[in-house]
Structure 1
């Protein structure tokens, strides 16, 4: 398993190797310091229950209005508020559940996926959501019907009630006829430049090949919305100016303005860029988790005009569309047809289906910790796995020390929850960060958007000799294949 971390190699060794292999590999890894880890404060935290009774929470967002409220994205179409006193409001802030495409309770990647507040929300009351509606008539070239209509829309808060959205205020920014149900991306976030960034997956299916997936420059692997920048907006991160234009403007310094390529595109070459965030400190880097297919999961630091490789590469490896379980023999290009380098991830871990062994069904991008409660985590990038094995609610958290962007994978290790030392016993579906830099995780005991086991936990310092589980409950299990 190609992980740039002795800690992670040892973890994999203990989990997946047969006893004889353990003995042999242990001897080989002694020189790199492989040993049983004692949990220290530096990689052990606790969790505090913030909200429960949710269906399928995908993340937590805070509004720039000094109210200290938390806004929870529930996949079934509702946004819930936890007020400054820690009380979950009984009525959702926004409810578009009646407008959604019908969701599969067992597993679905559609629904209400993203939320972002305008930087001047305190004065203009504007916010933006990403959600999926029933499909429009027609279908993609190549046959079949559209699966759903992916929409980015602006709303305003009710002028008479700060805890309610004005549902009649919707203004559609962007509609995309989506060919398949999966790989929708779904994050919305304003960068420190004031522009709205949007992550959109490659359209779904597998291999980036199906009706609705155009041909690209790389003929070895058929298809390629990820590598195409002219036919559609799938497989990209977009950057829009919501303060100008109708329905939006294009920032003048977007990479393809005045060149071949759609002007909205900021970066490309993604499979399913489900969750990204901007660092509150440092250089305000964009960290993005891109879900792999079978072999490798990745975290990217996304820069202007960058090509992140899919479907030429999966992680740092050449992708083989003809045989997903094997890397492409003979190598693959290092640049695209425009002369842009295929940028490798900064973090890579093995998918659970990798024949070499793996520790994640799907990667979930997180945040850089910039809070004060746990100074030993300051500047660490916290991310996780949706689950580590098929059909089990057994997600994990990890932390990495950011390094450079000139090549080479960063080290990472487990971030252990004191009350869940082996795994979270839930599916991890998203993260959140408040204006103090503290972190939250969105979890559920159910694989899909069903039940009421969804919870929001805040990461807090671990307390010595405290075996209280903080009231965490709602654990569950379901069968299926998570592919966020």
Structure 2
């Protein structure tokens, strides 16, 4: 693999922070349109060169940016179109609900202390009062008059903290036809309650929802654990992975008669990781609940486990602190040694990783993974068949404006981990910061779309641009 140069073609600018970029064909239309969902609750689509509003749910969303100086990880986080959207008009939303603001589950920021067992065995108690907000997953329909309308609520999930709610969190599986929800571990840092490894917790999982089943549950209860759900809802759910920290969606790449699944897991202090798998063993939620009630251990051979919180990518989760004798160095201490040992043999190793500290001249130092998409087009031949990913903000030695990072890797024939290579955009953002906040593709994965924002604060409005990533034009002779 080589470092690849690409161009960026602006499609739309001066929009709010784009969280989801994907295409669909509207009922009765003949053209595939690019849809853009923003974190503050707008959904636009590009039609005949114009930006048109598809849906505005800003009034349904929690007030964003109220804490953290404008930084927020809540909002409109997921948008997915039913595979039959052209015929049935069904689409799905995941967002943080207005009026559900609570107080965090912990009164102060959390850092594990390997010398203090009490910090390693915290439990989320008083969940009905100690939480940050409630997320909902809903089914909507585009009516014959062109107006979207909510049809039903699929899930209401209580979240312990502001962050790690997932982003681009809803996608349909071309294998099963089911809606896939990626939840994130609930937030804070280091997963203080170890929700991601607990089979009963909704947090920290990848979940398939069979939307073809009507549960006839008009107003699902607000829950945090699977056993709290009514049985008809349990029967629509399967868990396909756990050990999730935070995920910018799941993507699928057709390989003959199978699909390679790609998942990026955002790291803590050390590393950002991209995982790939083909085969997996789904766990029906009713099966998980029954095993929990009977206190039976389930056979989890073949069940996908990304290893968090014991593992951060391919490394035992570590705390980093400055070395008093040399400020240029960091001391790394394993945070959860026994959990790392427990999951060492069953976790899925990453396909590739990139690091927060990396002095290699042909790499970059990252901050947070924000998108993972396969590319099957021919417009950028060097990337055909690869998986492309984005990082929010690469760390530079110079003190210039912040820029995000693009890179790619490939699945190896022998199944072993692979290295990554940088994609260099031929585009000048000038003095403006350019955080790479989202990555999207079209229906046949022949185009790539990049969401860029001029600030990390969702309350700094109208600083977004969506680009198409294109091959560089050859100079004329």
| Normalised TM-score (structure 1) | 0.73
Q: Does 1:149 align with 2:134?
A: yes
Q: Does 1:182 align with 2:182?
A: no
Distance change in 2, residues 1:201/1:464 (3 Å): same
Residue deviations 1:392-447 (CA, integer Å, cap 9, x gap): 531010011222574x4212111111225999951111111112421111111111
2:471 corresponding residue in structure 1: 461
2:300 corresponding residue in structure 1: none
Stretch deviating more after TM superposition (391-400 or 341-350): 391-400
CA distance in 2, matches of 1:88, 1:145: 41
CA distance in 2, matches of 1:71, 1:199: 20
Distance change in 2, residues 1:428/1:137 (3 Å): closer
Q: For 1:263-412, what aligned pairs fall within 5 Å after superposition?
A: 264-281=238-255, 283-302=258-277, 303-304=280-281, 305-320=303-318, 326-328=332-334, 336=342, 341-351=346-356, 359-389=365-395, 393-404=402-413, 406=415, 408-412=416-420
CA distance in 2, matches of 1:118, 1:347: 31
Q: For 1:133-212, what aligned pairs fall within 5 Å after superposition?
A: 133=97, 134-135=99-100, 141-142=124-125, 145-161=130-146, 164-166=147-149, 169-186=150-167, 187-192=169-174, 193-209=176-192
CA distance in 1, matches of 2:61, 2:462: 19
Conservation of the 8 A alpha-carbon contact between 1:60 and 1:71: yes
Name the SS of the counterpart of 1:284 in structure 2: strand
Q: How many residues align?
A: 393
Q: Which runs of 5+ in 2 are unaligned?
A: 106-123, 218-226, 282-302, 322-329
Q: Could you say what the CA RMSD is over the residues aligned between the two structures, in angstroms?
A: 3.4
Name the SS of the counterpart of 2:202 in structure 1: coil
Q: Does 1:229 align with 2:199?
A: yes
Name the SS of the counterpart of 2:59 in structure 1: helix
Name the SS of the counterpart of 1:460 in structure 2: strand
2:450 corresponding residue in structure 1: 441
Distance change in 2, residues 1:405/1:191 (3 Å): farther
Distance change in 2, residues 1:227/1:462 (3 Å): same
Distance change in 2, residues 1:229/1:351 (3 Å): same
Residue deviations 1:137-168 (CA, integer Å, cap 9, x gap): 7986435632111111110113112xx422xx
| Normalised TM-score (structure 2) | 0.74
Residue deviations 1:102-131 (CA, integer Å, cap 9, x gap): 111731111001110001111111000110
CA distance in 1, matches of 2:236, 2:104: 22
CA distance in 2, matches of 1:95, 1:316: 41
CA distance in 2, matches of 1:203, 1:130: 15
- TM superposition shift of 1:280: 4.7
Residue deviations 1:162-218 (CA, integer Å, cap 9, x gap): xx422xx24110010111000011311001120111101111111111xxx3xxxxx
- The structure that is strand-richer by fraction is 2
Q: Which runs of 4+ in 1 moved over 6 A?
A: 136-139, 421-424
Stretch deviating more after TM superposition (149-158 or 428-437): 428-437
Conservation of the 8 A alpha-carbon contact between 1:281 and 1:370: no
Q: Which runs of 5+ in 1 are unaligned?
A: 8-38, 214-223, 249-255, 467-484
CA distance in 1, matches of 2:345, 2:25: 36
2:223 corresponding residue in structure 1: none
Distance change in 2, residues 1:79/1:136 (3 Å): same
